[in-house]
Amino acid sequence: MNLLPLIFACGTCRATMIDGGGDAAGWSIFFLLGVVLAMLGGIGFFMFRLARREKESLDPTLSDDYVPSERTQ
């Protein structure tokens, strides 16, 4: 039993896409890439802004110094 034809689109759909607007698939991929990059850019900007604000409003008297514990074994 050959399952390979089941994986691919039917010939009618493929021929219709090639004849009548194969650019639609390309443009949709390009659009989704733009959406993903915009979302990642927004998340990165938000994280950078949070880190910058935290650093600007940090009161050094309220921060604890990191002192590693010395365990003897």
Comparing 51 with 67, the larger pLDDT belongs to 51
Residue 73 lies in a domain: no
Residue 1 lies in a domain: no
The domain total for the chain is 1
Q: Per residue in 6-43, pLDDT tens?
A: 666 566 666 666 666 667 777 888 899 999 999 999 99
Confidence of residue 60 (pLDDT cuts 50, 70, 90): confident
Comparing 33 with 55, the larger pLDDT belongs to 33
CA–CA distance from 61 to each of 29, 34, 38, 67, 71 (Å)?
A: 52, 44, 39, 16, 28
Tell me if the pTM is above 0.75.
Answer: no
Q: How far apart are CA 34 and CA 40, in angstroms?
A: 10
Residue 63 lies in a domain: no
Domain that holds residue 40: 22-54
